Amino acid sequence: MELVESCGLQVIESCLFMSSQGLSVSYQKYFQELLPPQQYNSWIKPLLFEIDGNKVILTAPNSFTLRIIQERFLTALSKQAHDFFGFPAEIELRLQKKRTSKPVVPNELQSASTPVPATTPKIQKSSGKLNPLLTFDTFVTGKANQLAHAAGLQVAETPGATYNPLFVYGGVGLGKTHLLQSIGNLVAKENSDAKICYIHATNYVSGVVKAFQTKSFDEFKQYYNSLDLLLIDDIQFIADKPGTQQEFFYTLNSLIDTNKQVVISCDTFPKEISGIEPRLTSRFTCGLTVAIEPPGLEMRVAILLQKAANSATPITEDVAFFIAKHVRSNIRELEGALNRIEAYARFHKKAISIDLAKEALKDLLAAQNKQVSIENIQKTVADFYRIKLVELLSKKRTRAIARPRQIAMALARELTQLSLPEIGNTFGGRDHTTVLHACKTIDSLRNTDSTIEAEFNLLHQTLRG
Ligand code: ADP
Ligand code: MG
């Protein structure tokens, strides 16, 4: 975005004696001078500007505008606020409320007469709420997430009536949280009375611990059992916590038995999670289990184009292809690369081109050039353990072969840009969950087995040169 660097003193002076309403209006108008009319009219004008102390509250009419403001204009808005008011004003973004009631979170229950879980209000506060920016509207679909998207939509439209629980699994940054939140937001929109809780599994664990400490287990249970929709994110974090698992098992059963919807996300397929009781993992699979795969090239391009659409700095398809070709790991990193390019363009006041993208991502590209090839990893590992390359790539499961194979997979994960399915393919067409399992196994062995740790480091060093 092209914004002038400083604000004229005149404007500040003329605002000094205005009411806060007048001040907020002139701060909004101030942007009219700075931005091209189309951008001002599309994004800034629809906002409601309010000033509360040293806080500027911006209320957006819809989640799409809110997202655009957050992604494209927030930095400029806060910088300009500083210039305009002469002190660092805090910018708070809000979404205009359409309904009176909101999704219920434990904290809010406290003011109502409903039973209160005497758990950790602080933790619940940040975890129980839905993020209005993560909706189905902004969720790009493609082959990699089509099924998960369709199932999520179905569950949100008819909670408790179809797939229960819905279990969504996939690697980091692929959209699990976005999907869970979209389901919550849609249910809340359709039914403002629905009691919805979105919680990250680590916060659920803390809640259980706190309930034990404060002997408030009944309230804790009562709260979870009273929900209409429970969205629990990253369930792998309850592994090796038997008390939490037992509690969750009862809650899960109770919700499912009363046709209340449960949606669970996880980084692996249920049966692959280690440290979780079998009765629980088998309960996970009694509804529908769907995967979110890493997006292919076209989908990565579509995501980039969607994210850059209507932005102050739009990108062409060429540039989107360029980024998508080089950033392959996950959507979060794709967003990171786009943000970096946009910031770079803004800073240098240049339009976004492939050359500019190359310049902005130069560290990332340089790191890739140093990347080790998968063939090199496989050959080096096979040589090191004195096994044949064909054996390493075979389906043989004997320890003498399987362990080196897992090490090679873990090295490939660390030293290449390949995705889990891509690594799986190069090892004789194995599933991505096998690769993930290998990486986790090696990761934990490196902490407990000094030989493995030494061998891994040696191979790592050799390959990096
Ligand atoms: P996960 O929970 O699987 O680690 P997230 O849901 O946090 O991943 O997604 C990472 C980022 O990518 C978030 O900013 C999210 O909004 C974005 N994202 C993920 N999937 C999609 C999608 N299908 N369309 C648009 N944005 C997406
Ligand atoms: Mg997540």
Determine the average pLDDT of the residues in 238-261: 96
116 falls in which pLDDT band (50, 70, 90)? very low
pLDDT score of 24: 67
Q: How far is the CA of 52 from the centre of ligand 1 (A)?
A: 33
Residue nearest atom 25 of ligand 1, based on CA coordinates: 139
Determine the average pLDDT of the residues in 245-255: 96
Residue nearest atom 5 of ligand 1, based on CA coordinates: 175
Q: CA separation (Å) from 5 to 8, 10, 125, 161, 257?
A: 10, 15, 37, 55, 60
Handedness of CA 351, 352, 358, 361 (dihedral sign): positive
**What values do phi and psi take at 352, rounded to 5?**
-80, 125
The finding on whether 175 has its CB within 6 A of some atom of ligand 1 is yes
The finding on whether 331 has its CB within 6 A of some atom of ligand 1 is yes
Q: What is the mean pLDDT of the chain?
A: 83
Q: Which atom number of ligand 1 is nearest to the Cα of residue 295? A: 23
pLDDT in tens, 382-415: 999 999 999 999 998 999 999 999 999 999 998 8
**Residue 107 pLDDT > 60, yes or no?**
no
Determine the average pLDDT of the residues in 298-325: 90
Q: How far is the CA of 146 from the centre of ligand 1 (A)?
A: 14
For a mutational test of ligand 1's pocket, the pick from 328, 332, 333, 432, i.e. the residue with the most ligand atoms closer than 8 A to its C-beta, is 332
pLDDT score of 88: 66
Instruction: Specify the residue for token string 């990486």.
Output: 439
**What values do phi and psi take at 7, rounded to 5?**
-105, 140
Cα angle, residue 297 at apex, residues 295 and 300 outer, rounded to 5°:
60
pLDDT in tens, 423-438: 999 999 999 999 999 9
369 falls in which pLDDT band (50, 70, 90)? low
The finding on whether 173 has its CB within 6 A of some atom of ligand 1 is yes
259 falls in which pLDDT band (50, 70, 90)? very high
> Which residues, in sequence order, are CB contacts of 322 under 8 Å at separation 6+?
354, 357, 358
Transcribe 274-342 into DSSP letters: TTS-HHHHHHHTTSEEEE-PPP-HHHHHHHHHHHHTT-SS---HHHHHHHHHH--S-HHHHHHHHHHHH
Q: Which atom number of ligand 1 is nearest to the Cα of residue 172? A: 4
Determine the average pLDDT of the residues in 107-124: 33
Which residues are registered as beta bridge partners of 289?
167
Which residues are registered as beta bridge partners of 60?
95
> Which residues, in sequence order, are CB contacts of 185 under 8 Å at separation 6+?
63, 130, 132, 134, 135, 136
* Contact indicator for 177, 267 with CB cutoff of 8 Å: no
Rounded to whole angstroms, the Cα distance separating 310 from 315 reads 10
Q: How far is the CA of 139 from the centre of ligand 1 (A)?
A: 8
Is residue 345 classed as helix, strand or coil in its secondary structure? helix
Task: List, in sequence order, every beta strand (DSSP E) within 145-300.
Answer: 166-169, 196-200, 229-233, 261-266, 288-291
Q: How far is the CA of 127 from the centre of ligand 2 (A)?
A: 12
pLDDT score of 416: 85
128 falls in which pLDDT band (50, 70, 90)? low
Find the range with the poorest average confidence among 1-5, 95-99, 103-107, 396-400.
Answer: 1-5
For a mutational test of ligand 1's pocket, the pick from 174, 178, 237, 306, i.e. the residue with the most ligand atoms closer than 8 A to its C-beta, is 178
Q: Which ligand is nearest to the CA of 138?
A: 1
pLDDT greater at residue 18 or residue 156: 156
Q: For residue 387, which of 376, 407, 374, 401 has the smallest C-alpha distance?
A: 401
pLDDT in tens, 8-31: 222 222 233 334 555 666 777 777
Q: Which atom number of ligand 1 is nearest to the Cα of residue 138? A: 25
* Contact indicator for 390, 404 with CB cutoff of 8 Å: no
> Which residues, in sequence order, are CB contacts of 442 under 8 Å at separation 6+?
406, 407, 409, 410, 452, 456
pLDDT score of 375: 92
